[in-house]
Every structure is written in C-alpha cells, then in structure tokens.
Structure 1
C-alpha cells in the first residue's frame, strides 16, 4: 500500500521559499510573529492553496487553521498532521513552516494520486506556538486540548504593546472563507514534522529522528534580597550583598547539575539587579532558572537542590531568598504503538532513522494529552534554530515529508 509513494519534492521546496518571503528579513530569516499582519498573510496564502485543491477550510476560536481532505467515512475522527506558521522575531525559514507545509504536501499528494482514505486527513496550523509576542507558547494546541481559551489570555499584552483579544479577532476576521468550528474535537492521531533544533542527526549523518517523547520543563523565579549600600564605603563585614549570594549559588549549581547528569538542563536566562546603580550594592537580585529533564523525579530533585543551595548562600550573606515556580510542564512519552507505525513508515520509505528525545516542547506535547501523538525530526545545520541562519538541506526536507506520507498511508487506511 505504501510502496512507491513519493511526494512532489520540487513543489514542497518552492512552497518553503514562498512562505519564507512572508516576513523575510535581510539576514535570510523570517520575522512572522503570531497574530500579526504577516501571520495573517501566511494563513491567507495557505487557505488559498487549500481551496484551489478543493479542500475544506476551518478555524476555531483560537484561530487554529484546519484544511480537510475528506475520507470515505466522515464520521471517523480525522488524522491530524501539521505544525505552526508563526516565527521568532529573528527566526528561520523552517521552524514550524516545514511541518505545516510538509503536511500540506502530503494532502496534495493524496489528491494528486486520487487516493481514498478511510478517514479524513486534516492539516492544522496551530496558533502562537512560539510564544515570543504573546506568552505562553503553544496557545493553539493548549486551548485545543483543554477545549477552552483561558480567561486571563484575553487581557494579555504583546511585547509590542498590542492587546491579545483585538489581535485574535482581527486574525479570525481576516479569513472569511474559513468555516467556524468549536475548540477541540475527537482526533484519531496527530503527527508533526519538525527540525531537530540540535546537532545529533547531522553529526550522525541521519535524515530522520523518530521522537519518543518530550522532556519536562520547569521555570523558577529566584529573588535574593539584601541591603543596598554605598559601593565605596561599605566594607565586607557590613555588606548584605545579594549578588554575592547569587554568584556563589550559581557556581555550585553550574558545577553540579549538568555535569552529573547528561539528561539534565540548567539555564539562567534572565537576571535583574535593583536599584541597578553602578556605585551601589544591590538591594535585590531576581533571576529565572530553566530546568529540564525527561523524568519528573529528577526535576523535583533539581528544584530541591536549587532551593537548598540558594537558601544556604543567602544565609551566609545575611540575605533572604524567595523561590517561585512560574511554569511547570511534565515530561511526555509518545505512545509506543504510534512509534511503531513511524518505524514501519521509515522502513517502507527506505529512510534511516533513530529514536530520540526532544529537548524543546512542541504542539505535539499538548495534543498527546487527548490523542496519540508523535513527531518526526529532520536535521538542521549545526543544530541551529531560532536564528536567521537556520537551514535544512533540501533532501532532508523531502525526507521528512516522505516519511509523513508513508505514516499517513498506514494510519488513514489508504486505498489505491
């Protein structure tokens, strides 16, 4: 049933170029942030392409965009494939767009070959996966999985000052051709093609990674408070210096957490000193810590160690410490049965593949809460992503879409 199946690689590459021009930057990257005019332009183009092929187009209240190719039995839950179209401010051409356009290429290939599927196959472009303009990220898949838009999202402000509710409304109104559908519906399975955003596949010369799960992420906000005083007149004995406590704590944690556990990730991404004067000891230091690990038990242990070390160093400097958990996303394991389908698809497509874990979270994580989900990774040059220099070799873009086609043929019960 899957023998000889092939996508139109030239068409896929042309589409990648065409969408990269929407929000294209002088550095060769893409700035197409969620719910902007440029994001709407990309949604409009995808809708136009879908309508030309006779596919049905829908959008839900969070502006997730769906393109449906009907199956023989419309009552069966559809197979969902896709990703997102929004980018980082200094993003690349492939993050998100490759997955969405690979999925659309699969839909077009099924149509080109006049293949009948038992169930409908739908492409989805989820809203605001990146989370750089409006936080949190993965808004579309999160709301889809929950079946509702959280009330507090409606009052969010963008990094550019725009209000969320009017931007969402404008995005929905920009596609009058799309039929409205409610948030959330039964899904047979969800598959997503994505760049690896790491160096493993490229370093091993492999075209495909079959993603077995996504590691957990926990964000902490640590505030250490001491006493501001004159930098020149305050001797060491009289100082209550929160920065000294912070640097001592970080020195321990940097030496402990990642060196002791290859699966652990420890990152300080933001730090603010107050009052922020050159000639004053700071009164407080606030920083964020990003912890990641495949197991919840290790995340708990890492958080406990962060708390222990900061409290100890703060006491030594006569300072106080407050630690707050500001984000907590549990690890996800994708269903073995769906991974077996991807293994079979890779074999039928003649593509070498290895199983691997994702260090970043994606829409598939939230979809996996309501339906079987899995991901296909393709290599990117030097593992670079969220960067204008992000690059995927043409043959690897084609390989990812080819594997997706073979997997769809197995999951949607294709008939010639």
Structure 2
C-alpha cells in the first residue's frame, strides 16, 4: 500500500486520536496532582513508573528496547534495512513539581502512536523508527536542563551528566542505578532525521486560531546562579543606613532582570525563578541570598548584550549596597538553534496534507531537539495549549489539537523514513 494513504478510505493515513488521548490520560494517573496535573520528577519512583509503562506499551507494539548510560530509553521499530540510521522522535517523561499532563510526554506517546498506526496498517518503512524518552529534560531536580540529550549530542561529558546532583546530594548516576535505568548503550549514534512533538507552552497558536506550529528555530538561553552576601544583623537595633541587606540587593537584581527583558522586547525573556534567603528569619536582616537568572533571545548577539547587562547591573547593585557578589556563574548556555530546512519542510507538508492551519514559529522554550540538532537533521511540531499555560497543573489541550499534531508527526516521519 501507499504508506502515506489509507487506501480503504482514500484519505491520508491517520493516527488513532482516541487511543493517543487514552494513553495520555492513563499516563497522567502516575504522579497525578490535585489540580489535574502531574509531578514526576526525574529519576524518582514515579518517573520509573512512567518509564515502565511506556516500555511495556512499546514492547506490546513490537518494539525492542535499548537504554544508554544516561538512561535515555530507545524503543525501536525495525525497518526493511536495519543497517540504516533511524528516524527518531520523542521527548521527555519527567515533569515540573507542579507540571501538566502534556509537557514532554505528549511527544513520547505521540511517537508511540505513530508506531501503533504503522502496525495497524501494515506499513513497513525502509529505515527503522525509534521513539525516545530523554532523561531529565526539565532540569527541575537536576540542573541543568536537557542534560542527557546534551551528553548524547556531545555537549556535556558522560561524567558531567552522571555527576549532576539534586538538593539532597543524590547524583543522576546513583538514581539511574537505583530505579534500574542505568543502561549500557554507548552515548550517541547516527540518526537520519529527528522530530519532536510538543505543546507550544505559549499563547501564539491559540490566540491566532492556528492548529500547527512549524518550528523553524529555538531561542538561545543563558542560566545563571548568583549569591549576594551582606551581613546578618538584628532587625530592630540596626539603623537603616548601616545595613548590608542581601535580600534588598536581590530584590533590586530581580527588578533589573525584568527591565532587561522588557528593554529587548518583544522576543526577549528574562526571569528570576528561584530565591533562597539566609537565615530566613523574620527579625534578622538577611545576610546571604541565592537566586537564579534565566535570559532568552533568538538572536545570539542580543543574548550576549543581555548577558553584559545582567553582569554589569548586578555588580553595580552590589557595590551600591556594600554587598559581595560571592557567586555569579553562568551554568547553562546554548546559542539560538536553527532547525534543518528539509525536516521543517516535512512538518509543513504534513500540515498541508491534512489541511491544518499552520504557521512558522520560534520556540521560546528549550527542548531536547535543540541539542539533537547539533548531531542530526531535526525539526519540531507544535500544537496549541489552552491559555498558553504550561509548567502548571492546569496545563491543557484539546483532543483535536493532540490528534492533529500526531498526524503531522506521522507524515513527517514517513517522508524521511524512506531511503
């Protein structure tokens, strides 16, 4: 049969939208939260349960399973010529502490639905097809984000990846061993083409009534960890002019970061997302504050300018308040990522095949596809999410959007899985 066509209905081959939705809802029971979201932090017991369920489903679909040394899980459907490099799709199964039901896992289960659909219709591809769970994409338990796909792409060393520790000092290597996902496959391998299916995590597609985002590039990012040190002192007897208040300095830095983001609008984003105050007592002037900074822009020159403004601004604030900047470290950086033109065209053609409304879009978030693009032709497929809300328990999407994105993924992959 024509791999692109359901000859029984004379229409494009299509995934089973209800089956995909049911799989997403079944997976969402693992780590379910009171507001309808999920909490499956990387390499916790709940993450293991989610991985185990995916592995069982993939085996039921006839896939073989491989796991590399960073715990990335590869479910492989053989092609006519298994010596050929595979066409790969996938995303992540870990979540934010108050995460949603679709972020990441939609890309994993959308890929599994592609394989199930090919099985249903007896379609044999020339190249193997693989669906991947990338470990610790979120970076909420182990920083930085996307570390395992970064090791796969050669951005980080294996030792660096395995040694990343959470706030309790547990390393990724130790936790992979504990949950049984410390694999033995070597890091990295040839990939013919790669696609990642994801909710947009922003409001553009929904606001414009567009079903498919054809992702042409991703913003560059820089993450920082900052420590300002002053002096703890009694909140009552210490006169205002003589204080060395580290929290006051952090507050001014937070405002600085926000102003930098606004100054480079509309494409820039600048965020302080974590603050830890010491000694965190109501009648003690804070003597030390740790905080994080996240800046993003699709133009690397502008991102570099924002970097200078962050560094110079924090130094000026610290000097004015007689504080020490005991740490200002960039812990994560990648340049803006242009995706492969041919893969992007495959996504665009998939949307056209079904008559879905679509537009080109730049990803404001980081994704494993950004690192994968360093070693393989790569593109992404976006669908809307309600209200543009993500990294939130109320994150949501319609079954129609979910089905449409997987249909586009199916045809983009089929187009690349031939010789």
Do they superpose with TM above 0.5? Answer: yes
**Distance change >3 Å, CA 161–CA 371, structure 1 → 2:** same
* In 2: Cα distance, 1:232 partner to 1:131 partner: 40
Alpha-carbon displacement from aligned partner over 1:373-408 (angstroms, at most 9, x marks no partner): 111111111111122211110000000000001111
**Distance change >3 Å, CA 54–CA 210, structure 1 → 2:** same
Q: Could you tell me whether the CA contact under 8 Å between 1:64 and 1:140 is conserved in 2?
A: yes
Q: Which residue of 1 aligns with 2:374?
A: 369
1:261 is displaced (CA, Å) by 2.3
**Structure 2 residue 125 is the aligned partner of structure 1 residue 117:** yes
**Distance change >3 Å, CA 264–CA 167, structure 1 → 2:** same
Q: Could you tell me whether the CA contact under 8 Å between 1:144 and 1:184 is conserved in 2?
A: yes
Q: Could you tell me whether the CA contact under 8 Å between 1:40 and 1:171 is conserved in 2?
A: yes
**Distance change >3 Å, CA 273–CA 166, structure 1 → 2:** closer
1:33 is displaced (CA, Å) by 2.2
1:259 is displaced (CA, Å) by 4.1
Q: Could you tell me whether the CA contact under 8 Å between 2:257 and 2:272 is conserved in 1?
A: no
**Structure 2 residue 60 is the aligned partner of structure 1 residue 60:** no
1:162 is displaced (CA, Å) by 4.5
**Structure 2 residue 147 is the aligned partner of structure 1 residue 142:** no
| SS of residue paired to 1:409 | helix
Where do residues 8-19 of structure 1 align in structure 2 (5 Å cutoff)? 8-19=16-27
**Structure 2 residue 56 is the aligned partner of structure 1 residue 51:** no
Q: Which residue of 2 aligns with 1:195?
A: 199
**Structure 2 residue 359 is the aligned partner of structure 1 residue 351:** no
**Structure 2 residue 302 is the aligned partner of structure 1 residue 298:** yes
* In 1: Cα distance, 2:241 partner to 2:92 partner: 56
1:40 is displaced (CA, Å) by 2.3
Q: Which residue of 1 aligns with 2:405?
A: 400
Q: Which residue of 2 aligns with 1:88?
A: 96
**Distance change >3 Å, CA 239–CA 133, structure 1 → 2:** closer
Q: Which residue of 2 aligns with 1:108?
A: 116
* In 2: Cα distance, 1:44 partner to 1:253 partner: 41
* In 2: Cα distance, 1:313 partner to 1:391 partner: 40
Q: Could you tell me whether the CA contact under 8 Å between 2:70 and 2:161 is conserved in 1?
A: no
Alpha-carbon displacement from aligned partner over 1:251-297 (angstroms, at most 9, x marks no partner): 45534541442111111223344444444444444432211111221
**Structure 2 residue 386 is the aligned partner of structure 1 residue 378:** no
| SS of residue paired to 2:139 | coil
* TM-score of the pair, normalised by structure 2: 0.89
* In 2: Cα distance, 1:26 partner to 1:98 partner: 20
Given the alignment, which residue of 212, 220, 223 partners 1:219? Answer: 223
1:54 is displaced (CA, Å) by 2.2
| SS of residue paired to 2:42 | coil
Alpha-carbon displacement from aligned partner over 1:100-159 (angstroms, at most 9, x marks no partner): 111111111112111221211111111221222233322331222129853244444434
Q: Could you tell me whether the CA contact under 8 Å between 1:346 and 1:353 is conserved in 2?
A: yes
* In 1: Cα distance, 2:132 partner to 2:255 partner: 44
* In 2: Cα distance, 1:59 partner to 1:237 partner: 59
Alpha-carbon displacement from aligned partner over 1:289-345 (angstroms, at most 9, x marks no partner): 211111221122112112222333333334443533222222211122221121111
Given the alignment, which residue of 326, 332, 339 partners 1:327? Answer: 332
* In 2: Cα distance, 1:220 partner to 1:245 partner: 16
* In 2: Cα distance, 1:108 partner to 1:53 partner: 6
**Distance change >3 Å, CA 309–CA 26, structure 1 → 2:** closer
Q: Could you tell me whether the CA contact under 8 Å between 1:33 and 1:88 is conserved in 2?
A: yes
Deviates more, 1:350-359 or 1:302-311: 302-311
Q: Could you tell me whether the CA contact under 8 Å between 2:350 and 2:407 is conserved in 1?
A: no
Deviates more, 1:42-51 or 1:352-361: 42-51
**Distance change >3 Å, CA 397–CA 257, structure 1 → 2:** closer
**Structure 2 residue 175 is the aligned partner of structure 1 residue 171:** no
Give the root-mean-square deviation of aligned CA atoms. 2.5
Where do residues 240-255 of structure 1 align in structure 2 (5 Å cutoff)? 240-248=244-252, 250-255=254-259
* TM-score of the pair, normalised by structure 1: 0.90
Given the alignment, which residue of 38, 44, 47 partners 1:39? Answer: 47
1:350 is displaced (CA, Å) by 1.4
Q: Could you tell me whether the CA contact under 8 Å between 2:70 and 2:158 is conserved in 1?
A: no
Q: Which residue of 1 aligns with 2:418?
A: 413
Q: Which residue of 1 aligns with 2:270?
A: 266
**Structure 2 residue 32 is the aligned partner of structure 1 residue 24:** yes
**Distance change >3 Å, CA 316–CA 9, structure 1 → 2:** closer
1:58 is displaced (CA, Å) by 1.6
Q: Which runs of 5+ in 1 are unaligned?
A: none
